[in-house]
Amino acid sequence: MTASSEAPSKAENDLVLRSCPICEASCGLRIYVDKEAKSIERIEGDPDDFRSRGYLCPKAYAIKGVYEDPDRLHRPIRKLDDGTWEELGWDEALDLAADKLRAIQEAHGTHAVGLFVGEPTGHDVGALLYTTHFIMTFQTPRMFSSATMDQFPKQVSLTRMIGDGEMYVIPDIHRTDLFICMGGNPLASQGSLMGTPNAKKAIRAVSERGGRVVVIDPRKSETADIANDHYFIKPGSDAYFLAAMCQVIFEEDLVALGRFAEFTDGVSEVKEFVAPFTPEVVAAATGMDADVIRELARAYATTPRAALYGRIGTCTQEFGTLASWLLDVVAILTGHFDEVGCMMFPRPATGDTEPGRQNPEMPVGLWKTIARQLPLVDGQLPAGTMAEEIEEAQAGDQRMRGLVTVAANPVLSAPNGNRLAAATNELDFMVSVDIYLNETTSNADLILPTRVHAERGNYDLVYTRTSSHNFARYSPPIFEPEAGLLDHWQVLLELAARINGKTIEEVDAEALDALIDKVTAPGALCEGVSRETILAAIGDEIGPFRILDLQLRSGPYGDHFDPSKEGLSLAKLMEVEGPVDLGPLKPRLPEALKTTNGRLPLAHPYITADIPRLHAALKERSRADRMVLIGRRQVRNMNSWLHNVPVLAKGKSRCTLLMSPVDALRLGIENGGKARVRSRSGEVIAEAQVSSEMMPGVVSLPHGFGHTRLGSQLGVAATKQPGVNANQLTDEMPLDVPSGTHIANGIPVEIEAA
């Protein structure tokens, strides 16, 4: 797509070049603005951006839509006893939040306050750089985020195998000859964990150069439409399919560890674990023919440049950690891991994944939930346990009494949102850092709004870790921020300071000192550089861009604070006005391993301990009469937070229940009719859309909708695309055990005409 919005109103409009902050692709944009009127006149793709070459998708227009949204909050607001809201000043609002939260912790313990951090923080460098320190301020074990409704199983498996859960492995899509895609739809997501502007073009190019694209999905998605082959698979059975691939690879002597043999342990254990899962044994559970499984295993093992990619669908299921682990096991066994054209690791300019200090083992069980005794896994509790941890009937005197949500809408994004919304009434105090009165924040006592993308500079921090080509880019703000409106990082810093009785300068210095210790540690690229040298180079203006400058200078492409060296710094990056090309992905192991012994444990006992559960579920999974629900991505959505943008809410309803003609006929449901969908946790009535793209026995409903709750003030979302809340059907009880992630794909449901 290369279309643009309406034409400029006048020729002298200012031009701002920046990346799109909405998704991982980080496409280059040309934004024409009227600075005097503070209006965005036109948004188009930047043809000079070496990554996106003029491409953009509809989500880019959200920059304008959110900035101009009349429903956006601009001042802190407090809920009165009668349920109405009043504005108050920043000092009063921040003091109120800090005093209330501190009082709860002093009276009932640090665990009495919970935190929920939402996905939009990943799109804002300031939020990212201060969130960790903000969390540490509270010293609470009740830490929740969108991760346990998302990709946490992948982070857990990577942490166990390579020692770093945020050193993501990405398909080298531009150089592969076989691309196998599972549990993802890159044409809708623009390449989640494979940040690739114009993913459609990149995937088509695989076939055009004589390669092959295979999509394995319960739905024939937009990506499947351009693939060479598409195979249906039963939702939640990916671990069985991947285990069978491994079994074939061992059985047919296709193991080719190559250089990994020198630093990899546990190959024989993996062989023993997968031996029972032959293609014939898993055929009924996966819905895939045994011969197809064998052919794919052979093709993958014998194609020198092959990438086996799995995304959210392989995480948000009953065996998400096993599936995430097996994706990498298959790649390692066949020599397709950390090799050109295969699954590779980006090397971000900020040095996040550089060799250096080895990480300790991932902590598990340092705290457990009161209601179900579920363990804290690497600092995360299951998102769906929030309600039961608040409810006095479930958690008793140890219940959660205070809650802070940060750029989050868990009433829509976490399981059984109705229960959570009701539970918030039992809280002593709730504060939300958010720009909207939405389905979650409407339950808060206080809302602290922040600037939006158009009003802040940015750096694609997370998405340089997930890109299919290494790059760095600074994006300038489009407008000067509104007077009196704080940025996200400023709100976090102010709250952290007031809760601890410190100044913001003291809190910022603590965060900065921790980073200086890290980048100057033995083995780090700036080992031995003095603190004084670093501080003199980065200046004394507090905020994220001083920290970012430190990261860039101390990273793999930086000047390492040596004036005689060429290298990246924030100042140099700001001069470029576009992305800096840092080259294609290159092999990084074993040097970048951060495991305690510097080796790769292919069969880590924490992961393999879940294999008996996989065995035990095989019979139930093999039943032919199960009806299950999956989600789906849409190119005009970003979870729940773009539905109030008019240009993205246009058109016919997108919150439809996709079902196959076979199921529609059996259930007596017509295309366009209403279907009642029921699970253990709730029910919804949705418009049915009958399509042969769905596998029989599987229905699909997109997440992030359901903008109908009383108290929410999202005018466009409520009237144009309200939809139904798919996560009302997501059961908060069953989990992927190793990671504590909720099951959002493969939910057993009952369906009838409504």
User: In which band, very low, low, confident or very high, does the pLDDT at 696 lie, cut at 50, 70 and 90?
Assistant: very high
Does residue 266 carry a pLDDT above 90?
yes
Q: How far is the C-alpha of 249 from the C-alpha of 52, rounded, in Å?
A: 38
> Counting runs of H as helices and runs of E as strands, what totals does the chain give?
28, 33
Q: Tell me, what's the pLDDT at 626?
A: 84
Sketch out the chain's domains with CATH numbers: 71-140+382-460+474-557 (3.40.50.740), 153-350+589-611 (3.40.228.10), 627-753 (2.40.40.20)
Query: What element of type H or E holds 244?
Result: helix 238-251
Cis link prior to 590 (omega < 30° from 0)?
yes
User: In which band, very low, low, confident or very high, does the pLDDT at 8 lie, cut at 50, 70 and 90?
Assistant: very low
pTM higher than the cut 0.75: yes
User: In which band, very low, low, confident or very high, does the pLDDT at 637 lie, cut at 50, 70 and 90?
Assistant: confident
Does residue 2 carry a pLDDT above 70?
no
Beta carbons of 178 and 303 less than 8 angstroms apart: yes
Mean pLDDT of 384-413: 96
Mean pLDDT of 611-617: 97
DSSP state of 541: -
Percent of the chain with pLDDT over 90: 89
Q: Tell me, what's the pLDDT at 12?
A: 52
Q: Tell me, what's the pLDDT at 1?
A: 43
Beta carbons of 633 and 189 less than 8 angstroms apart: yes
Q: Tell me, what's the pLDDT at 550?
A: 97
Q: Tell me, what's the pLDDT at 701?
A: 96
Q: Tell me, what's the pLDDT at 634?
A: 85
Weakest mean pLDDT among 59-68, 356-365, 455-464, 663-672: 356-365
Q: How far is the C-alpha of 634 from the C-alpha of 632, rounded, in Å?
A: 7
Mean pLDDT of 511-516: 92
Does residue 721 carry a pLDDT above 90?
no
Q: In what order do the strands lie in the sheet with 143-145?
A: 85-87, 77-79, 446-448, 429-433, 402-406, 113-117, 143-145
Q: Which of 157, 464, 174, 185 is nearest to 328 (CA)?
A: 157
Contacting residues for 23 by C-beta, under 8 A, at least 6 apart: 57, 59, 189, 190, 192, 638
DSSP state of 570: H
Does residue 287 carry a pLDDT above 90?
yes
Q: Which of 650, 663, 655, 728 is nearest to 693 (CA)?
A: 663
Strands, E, within 486-582: which ranges?
A: 580-581
Query: Mean pLDDT over all residues of the chain?
Result: 94
For residue range 191-216, list pLDDT tens digits in order.
888 999 999 999 999 999 999 999 99
Does residue 449 carry a pLDDT above 80?
yes
Q: Tell me, what's the pLDDT at 223?
A: 96
